[in-house]
Structure 1
Amino acid sequence: MSTSHTNPQTKVVVITGASSGIGETAALALAQAGHIVVLGARRQERLAALADKIRAAGGTAAYLETDVTSKAQVDALVGLAREQFGRVDVIVNNAGVMPLSAMQELKLDEWERMVDVNIKGVLYGIAAGLPIMKAQGSGHFINVSSIGGHAVYPTAAVYCATKYAVRAISEGLRQEQLDGDIRVTIISPGVVESELAESISDPAARAAMREFRQIALKPDAIARALVYAIEQPADVDVSEIIIRPTQSPY
């Protein structure tokens, strides 16, 4: 693979949670738009298949098995992007889990998992990318929050708390970078077709989510927003995008 890219319009984009859902669809859309994608997720066989699909269509992709709860693994993923392509232009902190349940169920393991993936995973992505971006004089973080980062719903208290945290972290980072060329975008999807609901162990919450998902957006609706934010001129920061189904009450 090449050690750098010569087209200034081509971005090297790292994506976590890239093995399915929004991450997978975003990788395909970005590669089709001519960007280089570096894919991270826990399911390596899915990453390999996705990279093969992108390459078969003429795109450029690399991948590394990555659990975002491990700072070392996130560092390795971002390091792979810089090592193979010479730059890290965009980091999409997309990995997330959503095991909804009522607070009284006291599912502490699931609460801790959401904090580890949804909050600490984003922080690890920022920590891995920020020094590189500062050194190269440009960069872009895209952090995936949720409509659950704008309002709180029953069974979703802890999940919503993690997504509020993503927004707070992102906005703080944006304000700290006003003297540089690092952009920060928050993407807040409404209900989207994905495997997130399968992580819900509580039967009542899982049934309610399946009902809610009847109006779910396709992941490509979010992927188009990612491409839009990335391809704006360097002096334009698309700070936040909320995308929900037209029929969604939330």
Structure 2
Amino acid sequence: MGATKLRESVVVITGASSAIGRATALRFARKGATVVLTARSESALRQLASECERLGARTLVLPADVTDEASSHELAQLAAGAFQRIDVWVNNAEESLFVGLQDTPPDAFRQRVETHLVGYLQGARAALPTFHQQGHGVLINVSSVFGTLGAPYQNAYATSKYALRGLSETLRQEGRDALVRVVTVLPATLTTPLLHQGASATHKRVKPLEPLYAADRIARAIVRSARHPKREVYVNGAAPRPRLLSTLIRRPLRPAAPASSQPLAPTPSAALSAPWRHSTPLRTGLLLGLLAVPVLLGWRWLAHSRGYFF
């Protein structure tokens, strides 16, 4: 979409029922965009649609399983049919799992790869024909900083996020239209339900390292990327320093307090934020020593010019 206005643009958002997807829908709605909302929970989507409409946006609710090819193509056809075009497609579905590699059930690993990689692939295959036909469009794949450096006890999540970066780069290389852009957004740790919801077989309570960032901050980067697409956008200072960040992530890993929930039993939620607000001890951090890395202020300008977003 280049630097054109967002008002009256048509935006499809997958995983729209909670967290980043929900915040992104509200951000686009405030800009006057038409938002097409999809996820598995129709009730959560209906609630979100009402909020977007109160902001003056047109909406379309289309519950779908993004990992299913037929569902993804139907989603694109219905969206384009209703509004005559699709300007932005945000691939955002998320599902986490906290468990060591040897204890990861194959089906659980496969399910996360289906969500984070196959689902995004199906979204791209559904959106790109419309983009090429109309001569423009922005595909935004929401990955993670773990797509650059991995994460202990998140083997399925990190593996699929790594692969997603490869998919995004391949799509860029295959691109035949300069006005069809592919953006990868890589957030750091958020105050979303992802860690709270993530199924766990570690019998440990999962607590992230601070500082944590609100989903709306990631949504702001996504909306900005729709107007000014760059190849990769690192959010909240999560600029890649793989060797340093990998070391910082490993060092805080120590036994955490036992969790009360059953292993591999995610908690459903349509919330925008997770239930932690206060200081989290470093020794219990399972994720992101990298958030000590919004390092030197002198890097800020350089990072921004290369596509990093703070």
- In structure 1, the residue matched to 2:199 is 200
Q: CA deviation at 1:245?
A: 6.4
Q: Deviations over 1:22-56 (max 9, x none)?
A: 00000000010111110000000010011111112
Q: Which has the higher helix share?
A: 1
CA contact (8 A) 2:6 2:31 kept: no
The answer (yes or no) to whether the contact 1:143–1:187 under 8 Å persists in 2 is yes
> What SS class does the counterpart of residue 150 from structure 1 fall into?
helix
Share of identical aligned residues, percent? Answer: 35
Contact 1:191 1:245 in 2 (8 A): no
Q: Which residue of structure 1 aligns with residue 34 of structure 2? A: 36
User: Where has structure 1 moved over 4 Å in runs of 4 or more?
Assistant: 245-248
Which position in structure 2 is the counterpart of 1:111? 109
Per the normalisation by structure 1, the TM-score is 0.89
**Residue 196 of structure 1, CA deviation:** 1.7
Q: Is the 8 A contact 2:6 2:227 kept in 1?
A: no
Q: Counterparts of 2:98 and 2:173 in 1: how far apart (Å)?
A: 32
Please give the alpha-carbon distance, in whole angstroms, between the structure 2 residues aligned to 1:187 and 1:87. 23
Give the corresponding residue for 2:308.
Answer: none
Alignment of 1:207-222 (within 5 A): 207=205, 209=206, 211-212=207-208, 214-222=210-218
Aligned equivalents of 1:178, 1:73: Cα separation in 2: 26
Determine the C-alpha separation between the residues in 1 that align with 2:6 and 2:168. 26
Q: Is the 8 A contact 1:192 1:213 kept in 2?
A: no
Q: Which residue is equivalent to 2:18? A: 20
Whether the 8 Å CA contact 1:14–1:90 is kept in 2: the answer is yes
Alignment partners' CA distance in 2, 1:36 and 1:84: 11
How many pairs align? 237
CA RMSD of aligned residues (A): 1.9
Please name the residue that 1:3 is paired with. none
Q: Is the 8 A contact 1:38 1:63 kept in 2?
A: yes
Contiguous gaps of at least 5 residues in structure 1: 1-6
Report the structure number with the largest CA radius of gyration.
2
CA distance in 2, matches of 1:35, 1:106: 41
Partner Cα separation in structure 2 for residue 8 and residue 50 of structure 1: 19
Q: Check the 8 A contact 1:187/1:241 in 2, yes or no.
A: yes
Q: SS where residue 108 of structure 2 aligns?
A: helix
- Asked if the contact 1:100–1:201 (Cα under 8 Å) also holds between the matched residues in 2, the reply is yes
CA contact (8 A) 1:90 1:141 kept: yes
Aligned partner of 1:226 among 222, 226, 231: 222
For structure 1, which segment, 134-143 or 64-73, has the greater mean C-alpha deviation from structure 2 after superposition? 64-73
Check whether the contact 1:216–1:245 (CA below 8 A) recurs between aligned residues.
Answer: no
- Give 2:221's aligned amino acid: A
